[in-house]
Structure 1
Amino acid sequence: MSVRAATVAGVGVTVGFDLDMTLIDSRPGMAAAMNALGTESGLPLDGERFAANLGPPLDDILRGFEAPEERIPWLIDRFRALYPEVVVPVTVALPGAAEALRVVHQAGGNTVVVTGKYAPNAQLHVDALGLEVDEVVGELWSTRKAEALLAHGAQVYVGDHLGDVRGAHAAGAVAVSVATGPCTREELAAEGAEVVFDSLTEFPEWFANRFAGQAA
């Protein structure tokens, strides 16, 4: 079935998308920001390791780097302050991201980004890259993503991490995965993703076929 045909068939479908390594590749900037934070704080923060495993909340990441608990609030605030100038300018949209969002809108649906990232910084990415997103919800991770997915009536959630699959399931949404992040195809499938794509370039055809016959 063509995407054009889905304009009628898929009307009203709300699709949630993760941000990092689903819609955007923020790894170079994330590594640079974490390394800068390590230099400023004098802590052994590994930007490259951080960027290779994007997904979990920043406070959990910092604890994993053995940052002292009492310093974590300042570290988070400082990372967020560095973010607009260090991360946003060097971040790019992943292949198929713009078209995946567009096909939902062409079908009369809505798109919502649900991310663990600080929402104002997530919005900066959406604006800088001109992504067609109706709503951005931040600071939700794994099954807590269901809060936003349920609030927006999302029927599908697309992400790159096992936590995204869990969030979709917790919301009763179809879990769609892309193997563009830290998790393998096998891991994502074993977690219960309905489908795993190599990239979002495969999403439009799947979306058209999956929602064929759905009435408005």
Structure 2
Amino acid sequence: MGRCVGFDLDMTLIDPRPGMVAAMEQLARESGLDLDAELFASRLGPPLDHVLRGFEAPEERIPDLVSRFREIYPGLVIPSTVVLPGARAAIDAVRDAGGTSLVVTGKYERNAALHLEAHGPEVDVLVGDLWATGKAAALKRHNAFAYVGDHVGDIRGALAAGAIAVGVTTGPCTRAELLAAGAHVVLDSLVEFPGWLAASADGARVPER
């Protein structure tokens, strides 16, 4: 029987950065707050409320800011998003091995679904609104044997679930940072994933430290 493999979304399967900049710039204009859109897009991973606190947005305004960002998101971010190299082949490799593909993301689930509907890749299960070790609940529920992500938070989530932590260096975190967080293997991109999956067919970890 095939196994379940989990994937992060932003900067693992897709690159939404240009639209993220535009959306945050619009939120800054509307709110009158100093929100660094370029910095935000360069460090995708943490949930939006965490990001806004980092930009010192007033706590009482954060729920409305999050809601407004989610409203403007589809028109600005979805159209300019691209699928990262190797993403479709990675999902196909899981399917060809008889497995199940699972996306677990910190992104608002409805907007995450819009990305997958508009651009693919076609995955079996999507779970949104989970970050870092919080992702472990979904990974455990679906019995994921591995979780692939670009952020140290993804590595922590995989480890908390007892899954193989597979890092990719397509996001904000370096190979050294991913390994320091506990990644069992780090790939340059998902282009390398089908080969890794085939090599780990017995479920063994394949460290590249």
Distance in 2, matches of 1:135 and 1:174, equals 19
Q: CA deviation at 1:130?
A: 2.5
Aligned to 1:41: 31
Q: Which moved more, 1:125-134 or 1:78-87?
A: 125-134
Aligned to 1:4: none
Equivalent pair of 2:113/2:126 in contact (CA under 8 Å):
yes
1:53 aligns with 2:61: no
Unaligned runs of 5+ in 2: 205-209
Q: Which amino acid aligns with 2:81?
A: T
- Cα distance change, pair 204–74 in 1 and its aligned pair in 2 (3 A): same
Aligned to 1:90: 80
Distance in 2, matches of 1:188 and 1:45, equals 27
1:13 aligns with 2:6: no
Q: Which amino acid aligns with 2:66?
A: I
The root-mean-square deviation of aligned C-alpha atoms, in Å, is 1.1
Greater relative CO, 1 or 2 (CA 8 Å, sep 6+) = 1
- Cα distance change, pair 130–146 in 1 and its aligned pair in 2 (3 A): same
Q: CA deviation at 1:135?
A: 1.0
Aligned to 1:119: 109
Aligned match of 2:119 in 118, 123, 129? 129
Aligned to 2:207: none
Unaligned runs of 5+ in 1: 1-10
Aligned match of 2:64 in 53, 60, 74? 74
Q: Deviations over 1:141-167 (max 9, x none)?
A: 000000100011111000000000000
Aligned to 2:138: 148
Q: Which moved more, 1:161-170 or 1:187-196?
A: 187-196
Q: CA deviation at 1:38?
A: 0.3
Aligned to 1:203: 193
TM-score, length basis structure 1: 0.92
- Cα distance change, pair 213–167 in 1 and its aligned pair in 2 (3 A): closer
Aligned to 2:152: 162
| Runs of 4+, deviation exceeding 6 Å | none
Equivalent pair of 2:83/2:120 in contact (CA under 8 Å):
no
